Amino acid sequence: MKVSIYYGGRGVIEDPTLYVLEVMEQVLDELNVTVSRYNLYEYRSNELTRLPSSIRDADGIVLATTVEWLGIGGYMTQFLDALWLYGNRDKMASLYMQPVVLSTTYGEREGMLTLESAWESLGGIPANGLCGYVEDVSAFRQDRDYRSYIEKKTEDLYRTITQRLRGLPTSSQAVTQSVQRTRQMQLTPQESEQLSELAADESKVRQQKADVLELSKMFTQILGGEGSAPSEPTEEYIENFETSFSGQPEIIASFLFRISGKEQPLLVSVNGRELVCRYETVDDADVVCTLSPDIMETIVAGRMTFQRAFSVGDMSVKGSFATLRQLDELFPFAE
């Protein structure tokens, strides 16, 4: 028999859940059960998509986490999301899950209920769980009665799995089938595992995004060639910057304006008294400004300065704010 334990806490020494798992592992080892522990905090977000395949050979699992301030925590939530997207539903339908939730604040019962409800929504079978509030971890570890209780709960899990005990049906189980109909893709277990591996590979994900962007540009160009989409003006605002330019020998800077609705950003490069304006994407601009066409129109019309647009939240800025202040000196647009 094999039991997999998924720990969703942060792994800190004073975490009482770690002590509970130590006792459970000792009991299961004495019962000749193979135990595998997965510490979710050791996995990056994209790597968690691979973990659903680890339930394939398990007879039962333990979902363990610690409530430190609110709820079951992000690691466990991400793992449950991965199970929903990539897990083998046929396997989970016959898999027992024991929730273990310890709290150092408040909400251990709510946390256990969350895990039970999530597992039922996945089609699995929840076993009797274990939850508790721990104020002093040292006293908790030294209390023999607490240890005996943990051992008994572990033995209950063992009996539940070996005897295939079933509980009464619940409303969550009754609606699981209707909830699962909302899934857009019906995949085989092999396809789900392959998809999880693909989602975990950052290079492939980046390549897919690049391919989608390239296809989008290609179809936009095709539609534009057929007259379905108007071509974007490539000289807009350039004349405004060139006519209002007031170069200063000591200023060398580049500004990139990302204007919503424009496929390409506007690059304004200043080298002393030399100015270059063109629509181009670059990665090394000193200042990157994001704004709407209306705000850009207001600025080049002289009714608002760049500094004013930034201060009131009409324009977001990344880069050197000292360089940003030079924009209004370089381009004193007149109304």
Tell me the pLDDT tens digit for each residue of 73-94: 999 999 999 999 989 989 999 9
Band of residue 39 on the pLDDT scale cut at 50, 70, 90: very high
User: What is the per-residue pLDDT across 137-156, written as a single tens digit (0 to 9) for each?
Assistant: 999 999 999 999 999 999 99
Q: What is the pLDDT of residue 234?
A: 62
N-term to C-term CA, the chain: 80
- Residue 185: count of CB within 10 angstroms of its CB: 8
**pLDDT > 80? residue 259:** yes
Tell me what the mean pLDDT of segment 12-17 comes to. 94
Contact (CB, 8 A) for 94 and 129: no
**pLDDT > 90? residue 277:** yes
Superfamily holding 238-330: SCP2 sterol-binding domain (3.30.1050.10)
- Which comes out higher in pLDDT, residue 104 or 187? 104
Give the helix ranges, DSSP H, for 102-201: 108-121, 137-142, 144-163, 171-180, 189-200
Q: What is the pLDDT of residue 155?
A: 96
CATH for 2-185 (3.40.50.360, 3.40.50.1100, 3.40.50.2300, 3.40.50.2000): 3.40.50.360
Band of residue 119 on the pLDDT scale cut at 50, 70, 90: very high
Query: pTM, whole model, 2 decimals?
Result: 0.59
User: Which of 274, 265, 228, 267 lies closest to 247 in space, CA to CA?
Assistant: 274
Contact (CB, 8 A) for 20 and 102: yes
CATH 3.30.1050.10 occupies which residues in the chain? Answer: 238-330
Residues 6+ apart with CB under 8 A from 160: 60, 96, 98, 127, 128
Band of residue 322 on the pLDDT scale cut at 50, 70, 90: confident
User: Which of 246, 248, 252, 287 lies closest to 266 in space, CA to CA?
Assistant: 287
User: What is the per-residue pLDDT across 171-215, written as a single tens digit (0 to 9) for each?
Assistant: 766 665 555 544 445 566 565 656 666 655 566 666 666 667 777
CATH 3.40.50.360 occupies which residues in the chain? Answer: 2-185
